[in-house]
């Protein structure tokens, strides 16, 4: 248990660096801009004071639609410091989706990058409630200018006397179906992730430089490039552009980070990027992967190309960051690792009974960074937050050494002739084939029965053909149980994914397979 005073505000994460004498140390590198901890604190205080001047009050919600620039941590901590509740959201959505966030949260203000200004104005068209719009990093037009707010407010702002169990910020989960759910996090949640994952797995210190290709608006990036480095007094590298291989490699080579964070999709894209091996990433002591399970094939190729390990783990919006992880010097490629000290995990069958070693079931996790509830969604809260335990919705197994292995989302599991098939196991096996870049497996109905269809993207130099489809099916038969091979193979240019790199399998489930695709008859022995 991490002891905190009852009166606690998460923005004191910045104060601890001033108290430690780091006022002149660079907290943020972003392009040509460098921001010290002292300057960051002043901007946060000015912004918090300016929000109060606009009429924002304690527990008012503030929507953040911001790119990865210094404006993000300023708005995030500035809002919390004066007692408001920041809500970071994806910057790549449509006006009607932002309208949902605004209506659902009852946001009193929106802070957006100037480049997203028109999108927010479209989202607010016809909205009856008053909402203050604050534009950052460019022309604010008829809206408030964040630059003016952080240059005119008072330099001093004591943190609001919030309780450690008051709501501090929200994160909307990107569910595969239905509307996003607002996970309400409390002021003590951030420090809990720092004292567990950051301390025990990353072993982060003030001498580190973090670089997260995953964006700050979701839980993974928020911990990687804000919570953990500010807690340790480290420096961070912010890159506001799209997380594409070339700019990420160029930034990593120039900034010399010691801790690098990305998702499997980006690690794979970098490996396949021409000339990737020519970049110098030797400054990195550990890489981290989350958001989607990391195939062992990518882990091995990365280790061979760059010389350092990727620590794969599983986290969630609801738990705020990674709660099961591999650790330095204790990695099993393809696994999610072991529970992070401070968290507990268990696997139960559909009757909520413990399973045997290497038997798959539903994953449950317990730890004090868990969201308190979903905003205005009582039924989902009851279904997910079960006392001290969080129902993760993931299908896992635990081996004899205590390592957890991802089998897929519980609702992605495929039952073929009465036997459960993990789509991830099929995908990992396909990814080991020299022709395959990425793979996704789904169950599809055929004559009233469920069969497996594999969706494949190929590495450069390979072309789709019926012969290759048959070869991949035979590959799976040789390396899996006979009933786990894909009955159908479909080649694609790219797989549908979320912005965090998760494969959206639900988009691949057509009612019926194309009968012209290669198909093999069932072999269930």
Tell me, yes or no, whether 168 and 207 share the same domain: no
Query: What is the C-alpha separation between 120 and 106, in angstroms, rounded?
Result: 15
Q: Does the predicted model carry a pTM greater than 0.75?
A: yes
Please check the confidence at residue 348 and state whether its pLDDT lies above 70.
Answer: yes
Is 429 contained in some domain? yes
Tell me, yes or no, whether 74 and 127 share the same domain: yes
Q: Are 238 and 213 in contact (CB under 8 A)?
A: no
Label residues 348-377 b or e (16+ Cβ within 10 Å = b).
eeeeeeebeeeebbbbbbbbbbbbbbbbeb
Tell me, yes or no, whether 302 and 327 share the same domain: yes
Q: What is the pLDDT of residues 75-90, one digit of tens each?
A: 999 999 999 999 999 9
| Percent of the chain predicted with pLDDT > 70 | 95
Tell me, yes or no, whether 205 and 242 share the same domain: yes
What are phi and psi for residue 21, nearest 5 degrees? Answer: 80, 25
- Of 121, 154, 186, the last residue of a domain is 186
- The DSSP H or E segment spanning 104 is helix 95-105
Question: Token pair for residue 417?
Answer: 């002739």
Q: Are 404 and 363 in contact (CB under 8 A)?
A: yes
The pLDDT score that the predictor gives to residue 277 is 97
Please, which residues have CB within 8 angstroms of residue 514's CB and are 6 or more apart in sequence? 488, 490
Q: What is the pLDDT of residues 470-483, one digit of tens each?
A: 999 999 999 988 78
- The pLDDT of 40-60, averaged and rounded, is 97
Tell me, yes or no, whether 205 and 62 share the same domain: no
- The pLDDT of 242-254, averaged and rounded, is 96
Q: What is the pLDDT of residues 133-157, one digit of tens each?
A: 999 999 999 999 999 999 987 899 9
Is 522 contained in some domain? no
Strands 109-113 and 61-65: parallel
523 pLDDT band (50/70/90 cuts)?
A: very low
Tell me, yes or no, whether 160 and 250 share the same domain: no
The pLDDT score that the predictor gives to residue 411 is 79
The pLDDT score that the predictor gives to residue 320 is 98
Please check the confidence at residue 521 and state whether its pLDDT lies above 50.
Answer: no
- The pLDDT of 227-232, averaged and rounded, is 98
- The pLDDT of 415-430, averaged and rounded, is 84
- The DSSP H or E segment spanning 298 is helix 296-306
Is 61 contained in some domain? yes
Domain that includes residue 497, residue range: 413-508
Q: What is the pLDDT of residues 449-464, one digit of tens each?
A: 788 999 999 999 999 9
Tell me, yes or no, whether 282 and 363 share the same domain: yes
Tell me, yes or no, whether 402 and 430 share the same domain: no
Please check the confidence at residue 514 and state whether its pLDDT lies above 70.
Answer: no
Q: Compute the C-alpha angle 15/21/26, nearest 5°.
A: 80
Question: Token pair for residue 187?
Answer: 């002021």
Q: What is the pLDDT of residues 370-420, one digit of tens each?
A: 999 999 999 999 999 999 999 998 999 999 999 999 988 877 888 886 777
Is 168 contained in some domain? yes
Strands 414-416 and 419-421: antiparallel
Tell me, yes or no, whether 226 and 345 share the same domain: yes
The pLDDT score that the predictor gives to residue 424 is 87
Query: What is the C-alpha separation between 333 and 313, in angstroms, rounded?
Result: 11
Q: Are 225 and 208 in contact (CB under 8 A)?
A: no
Tell me, yes or no, whether 137 and 126 share the same domain: yes
Tell me, yes or no, whether 352 and 203 share the same domain: yes
CATH code, domain carrying 211:
3.40.50.12780
Interhelix angle 264-271/296-306, nearest 10 degrees: 50
Average predicted confidence (pLDDT) for the chain: 93
Residue 88 forms beta bridges with which residues? Answer: 64
Is 523 contained in some domain? no
Q: Are 256 and 283 in contact (CB under 8 A)?
A: yes
Q: Are 27 and 235 in contact (CB under 8 A)?
A: yes
Report the domain count for the chain: 3
516 pLDDT band (50/70/90 cuts)?
A: very low
What are phi and psi for residue 311, nearest 5 degrees? Answer: -95, 100
- Of 186, 211, 237, the last residue of a domain is 186
């Amino acid at each position: 248990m991490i002891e905190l005073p009852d009166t606690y505000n998460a923005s004191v994460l910045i104060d601890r660096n001033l108290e430690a004498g780091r006022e002149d140390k660079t907290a943020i590198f972003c392009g040509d801009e460098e921001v010290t901890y002292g300057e960051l604190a002043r901007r946060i205080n000015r912004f918090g004071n300016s929000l109060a001047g606009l009429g924002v009050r304690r527990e008012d919600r503030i929507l953040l639609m911001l790119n990865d620039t210094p404006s993000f941590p300023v708005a995030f901590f500035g809002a919390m410091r004066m007692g408001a509740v920041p809500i970071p959201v994806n910057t790549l959505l449509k006006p009607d989706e932002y309208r949902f966030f605004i209506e659902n949260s009852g946001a009193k203000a929106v802070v957006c990058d100037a480049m997203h200004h028109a999108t927010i104005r479209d989202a607010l068209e016809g909205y009856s409630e008053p909402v203050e719009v604050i534009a950052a990093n460019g022309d604010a037009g008829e809206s408030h200018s964040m630059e003016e707010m952080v240059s005119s407010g008072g330099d001093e702002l004591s943190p609001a006397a919030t309780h450690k169990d008051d709501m501090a910020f929200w994160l909307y989960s990107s569910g595969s179906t239905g509307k996003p759910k607002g996970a309400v996090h409390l002021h003590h949640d951030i420090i809990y992730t720092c004292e567990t994952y950051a301390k025990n797995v990353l072993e982060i210190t003030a001498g580190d430089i973090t670089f997260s290709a995953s964006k700050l608006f979701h839980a993974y990036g928020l911990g990687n490039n804000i919570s953990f480095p500010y807690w340790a007094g480290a420096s961070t590298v912010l890159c506001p552009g799209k997380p594409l291989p070339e700019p990420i490699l160029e930034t990593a080579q120039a900034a010399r980070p010691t801790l690098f964070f990305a998702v499997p999709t980006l690690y794979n894209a970098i490996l396949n990027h021409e000339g990737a091996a020519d970049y110098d990433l030797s400054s990195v002591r550990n890489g981290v992967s989350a958001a989607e399970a990391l195939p062992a094939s990518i882990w091995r190729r990365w280790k061979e190309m760059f010389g350092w390990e990727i620590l794969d783990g599983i986290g969630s919006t609801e738990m705020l960051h990674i709660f099961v992880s591999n650790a330095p010097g204790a990695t099993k490629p393809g696994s999610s690792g072991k529970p992070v000290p401070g968290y507990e995990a268990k696997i139960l069958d559909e009757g909520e009974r413990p399973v045997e070693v290497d038997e798959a079931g539903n994953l449950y996790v317990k730890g004090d960074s868990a969201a308190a509830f979903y905003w205005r969604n009582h039924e989902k809260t009851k279904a997910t937050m079960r006392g001290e335990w969080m129902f993760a919705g993931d299908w896992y197994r635990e081996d004899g050494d205590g390592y957890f292995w991802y089998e897929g989302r519980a609702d992605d599991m495929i039952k073929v002739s009465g036997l459960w098939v993990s789509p991830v196991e099929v995908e990992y096996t396909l990814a080991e084939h020299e022709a395959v870049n990425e793979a996704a497996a789904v169950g599809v109905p055929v004559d009233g029965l469920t069969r497996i269809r594999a969706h494949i993207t190929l590495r450069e130099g390979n072309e789709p053909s019926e012969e290759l489809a048959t070869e991949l099916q035979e590959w799976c038969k040789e390396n899996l149980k006979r009933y786990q091979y894909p009955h159908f193979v479909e080649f694609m240019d790219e797989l549908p994914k979320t912005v965090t790199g998760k494969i959206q399998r639900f988009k691949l489930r057509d009612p019926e397979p194309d009968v012209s695709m290669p198909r093999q008859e069932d072999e269930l022995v």
